[in-house]
Chains A and B, each alone.
Chain A
Amino acid sequence: MSEPRHEVPERDSPSCTESKVGEPDKAIVEIQDVAFTRGATRIFDGLNIRIPRGKITAVMGPSGTGKTTLLRLMTGQLTPDRGQILVEGKDVHSMSRTELYAMRRKMGMLFQNGALLTDLDVFENVAFPLREHTNLPERLIRHIVLTKLHAVGLRGTWRMMPSALSGGMARRVAMARAMATDPEIIIYDEPLGGLDPISMGVILRLIKRLNDALNITTIVVSHDVQEIASIADCSYLISNGKVIASGKPDELRENANPIVQQFMTGMADGPVPFHYPGPDYSEQLLGGSSE
């Protein structure tokens, strides 16, 4: 069964990829007319997004809109039914496996749950990409790993196992691992989900600081509107498989589209209904059947 759908006007404004003087920034990632279906559900249908180099771009949308799927498409873990995804001008899905892995070495990704390797301690988790891809001497690996852990404030946890870390700490270690090979792009998948306010603030500051200090491109997928909007240079709002609004956070807040308004203000009911479509409530209660 497909997801409930509601008709929305499409808006594919590239406003957040333009600089103040109207010159478009060079996009590092371009998603062009992408369609993707899973089972009977159309996740994306004509999706267009441009991710500018060196900025923090937020991709937001209600739960179930396919934000994580978009990241998996972007990194070549899934293949779209139609359209192209270009990273530094190269189509991700026409790359050979070697080219794809070469591209991924320029990327770091933070998964929703951190995805730390549970049989390795914190130090070895951060060292993992270095050991796999380089022949650096042990002294240098140790230096890099401790530097990265220090940057996320968790140098003291270097001998702890992932099971001993809190959710926020696990994500910070995963951030250190994502930074270990100094990638050009860092992708965060729901970095704030389930975190307490202190951990949330720490992660937000780290995302911003890393982006500015290392001059990398940051892509954040989240539905924590207020928090992510506070650090994002530009945002895309996805609904029903398309971009329905894009721009700087302030532009999104002023957008008249009812779905954008509902999302930005967090209203429970609106164009995106609170109730999943079903039979009449009273009829179902009185009917007594299992239908």
Chain B
Amino acid sequence: MKDFLTDAVQTLVTFLQGLGQLGLFFVSLLVYSPRTLVRRPQLVMRQVYNSGAMSLTIILTCGLFVGMVLGLQGFDTLQRFGAEEALGTFAALSLVKELGPVLTALLFAGRAGTALASEIGLMRATDQLAAMEMMAVDPIRRVVIPRFLGGVISMPFLAAIFNMVAIFGAYLVGVSFMGVDEGSFWSQMYANVAVADINQGIIKSVVFGVVASLLAVFEGYNSVPTAEGVGRATTRTVVITAIVVLIMDYMLTAALIG
């Protein structure tokens, strides 16, 4: 029992230390980010390409099929109530407010987050970060912040693209395959999706962008400089991001719905 308590306390202390370390790391990113954005925009744009443009394939593919599944399931459920004309509203609200930001964040963590964590971890393992330090170049400003900002900027755009493709997927299934009236599909969506709903999605995608990018660069930067350490950091990035995104999704939804 005593051993169990000692272990529990030790685990709690380690967790709090990690949390504190993450907090300080985040503060340092916030402090230096504006300067990097203004003085070195080309570094940030390169990372927008790496994190954003390079994630387009997975976002487009997954978005299309998520939308098609929504179209099928939505039609199947709504027709029981004779409300299949509301399929457009159903798909748009589900995607814009919830599925778009959350699934984009999870896909981002799996594609760009792992790439960020392993890239920075390998830079540490191969002394590239130490070499920068020796050249009087701060790796936080030169390596970490551009990658962090690249992820933060990319995420809302990726979520918007995911939503558009997914709505098209729902349209394809609902209108083209299931025979839902095209006019009803679009007009009901236009009438029932408010700006506040879209804002909810935008806020979520920005917050998830910060969370996913922060966790990826933090795990990579603090990884143990071995092959095993980099692998572990990459895995932790995906697992922790998924957990934190889903927890924050509930909290944000509760706060935004009020």
Q: Which residues of A contact B (CB under 8 A)?
A: 72, 75, 77, 101-102, 104-105, 107-109, 111-113, 115-118, 128-129, 132-133, 174, 177
* B126–A113 CB distance below 8 A: yes
Nearest chain B residue, comparing its CB with the CB of A101: B136
Once the chains are docked, how many angstroms separate the CA of A107 from the CA of B136? Answer: 9
Q: How far is the CB of B189 from chain A (nearest CB, A)?
A: 43
* B137–A129 CB distance below 8 A: yes
B130 / chain A contacts, CB cutoff of 8 Å: 72, 77, 111, 115
Question: Are A109 and B131 CB-contacts (below 8 A) given A104-B136, A133-B136?
Answer: yes
B138 / chain A contacts, CB cutoff of 8 Å: 101
* A132–B131 CB distance below 8 A: no
Once the chains are docked, how many angstroms separate the CA of A69 from the CA of B200? Answer: 52
Please provide the chain B residues from 131 to 158 with a CB less than 8 Å away from any CB of chain A in the complex.
131-138, 142
Selected from B128, B133, B134, B136, the residue in CB contact (under 8 A) with A117 is B128
* A132–B137 CB distance below 8 A: yes
* A111–B136 CB distance below 8 A: no
Question: Are A111 and B131 CB-contacts (below 8 A) given A118-B126, A132-B142?
Answer: yes
B128 / chain A contacts, CB cutoff of 8 Å: 115-118
Does B76 make an interface contact (CB < 8 A)? no
Q: How far is the CB of B225 from chain A (nearest CB, A)?
A: 12
Once the chains are docked, how many angstroms separate the CA of A72 from the CA of B137? Answer: 16
Q: Which residues of B contact A (CB under 8 A)?
A: 122-123, 126-128, 130-138, 142
Nearest chain B residue, comparing its CB with the CB of A125: B131
Once the chains are docked, how many angstroms separate the CA of A76 from the CA of B133? Answer: 10
B133 / chain A contacts, CB cutoff of 8 Å: 77, 104
A177 / chain B contacts, CB cutoff of 8 Å: 135
Nearest chain B residue, comparing its CB with the CB of A102: B136
A133 / chain B contacts, CB cutoff of 8 Å: 136
B127 / chain A contacts, CB cutoff of 8 Å: 111-113, 115
Minimum-distance CB pairs A-B, first 8: A115-B131, A101-B136, A115-B127, A104-B136, A109-B134, A111-B127, A129-B135, A105-B136
B132 / chain A contacts, CB cutoff of 8 Å: 117
Q: How far is the CB of B123 from chain A (nearest CB, A)?
A: 8
Selected from B122, B134, B135, the residue in CB contact (under 8 A) with A132 is B135
Q: How far is the CB of B164 from chain A (nearest CB, A)?
A: 32
Q: How far is the CB of B181 from chain A (nearest CB, A)?
A: 52
Which of B122, B123, B136, B138: most chain A CB closer than 10 A?
B136
A129 / chain B contacts, CB cutoff of 8 Å: 135-137
A174 / chain B contacts, CB cutoff of 8 Å: 131
Q: How far is the CB of B135 from chain A (nearest CB, A)?
A: 5
Q: How far is the CB of B97 from chain A (nearest CB, A)?
A: 38
Which of B122, B130, B138, B142: most chain A CB closer than 10 A?
B130
Question: Are A104 and B131 CB-contacts (below 8 A) given A115-B126, A118-B126, A132-B142?
Answer: no
Nearest chain A residue, comparing its CB with the CB of B127: A115
* A104–B126 CB distance below 8 A: no
B131 / chain A contacts, CB cutoff of 8 Å: 109, 111, 115-117, 174
* B135–A75 CB distance below 8 A: no
Once the chains are docked, how many angstroms separate the CA of A218 from the CA of B122? Answer: 29
Given contacts A109-B131, A115-B128, A132-B142, 20 further A-B contacts (CB under 8 A): A75-B134, A104-B133, A104-B136, A105-B135, A107-B134, A111-B131, A113-B126, A113-B127, A115-B131, A116-B128, A116-B131, A117-B128, A117-B132, A118-B122, A118-B123, A118-B128, A128-B135, A129-B136, A132-B135, A174-B131
Q: How far is the CB of A2 from chain B (nearest CB, A)?
A: 21
Once the chains are docked, how many angstroms separate the CA of A112 from the CA of B127? Answer: 9
Once the chains are docked, how many angstroms separate the CA of A129 from the CA of B136? Answer: 8
Q: How far is the CB of B131 from chain A (nearest CB, A)?
A: 4
Question: Are A104 and B134 CB-contacts (below 8 A) given A115-B128, A118-B126?
Answer: yes
Which of B126, B128, B131, B142: most chain A CB closer than 10 A?
B131
Once the chains are docked, how many angstroms separate the CA of A107 from the CA of B133? Answer: 11
Nearest chain B residue, comparing its CB with the CB of A128: B135
B136 / chain A contacts, CB cutoff of 8 Å: 101-102, 104-105, 129, 132-133
Q: How far is the CB of B8 from chain A (nearest CB, A)?
A: 24
B126 / chain A contacts, CB cutoff of 8 Å: 113, 115, 118
Once the chains are docked, how many angstroms separate the CA of A116 from the CA of B137? Answer: 14
30 contacts between A and B (CB under 8 A): A72-B130, A75-B134, A77-B133, A77-B134, A105-B135, A107-B134, A108-B134, A109-B131, A109-B134, A111-B127, A111-B130, A112-B127, A115-B126, A115-B127, A115-B130, A115-B131, A116-B131, A117-B123, A117-B132, A118-B122, A118-B123, A118-B128, A128-B135, A129-B135, A129-B136, A129-B137, A132-B135, A132-B136, A133-B136, A174-B131
Once the chains are docked, how many angstroms separate the CA of A82 from the CA of B135? Answer: 26
A116 / chain B contacts, CB cutoff of 8 Å: 128, 131
A102 / chain B contacts, CB cutoff of 8 Å: 136
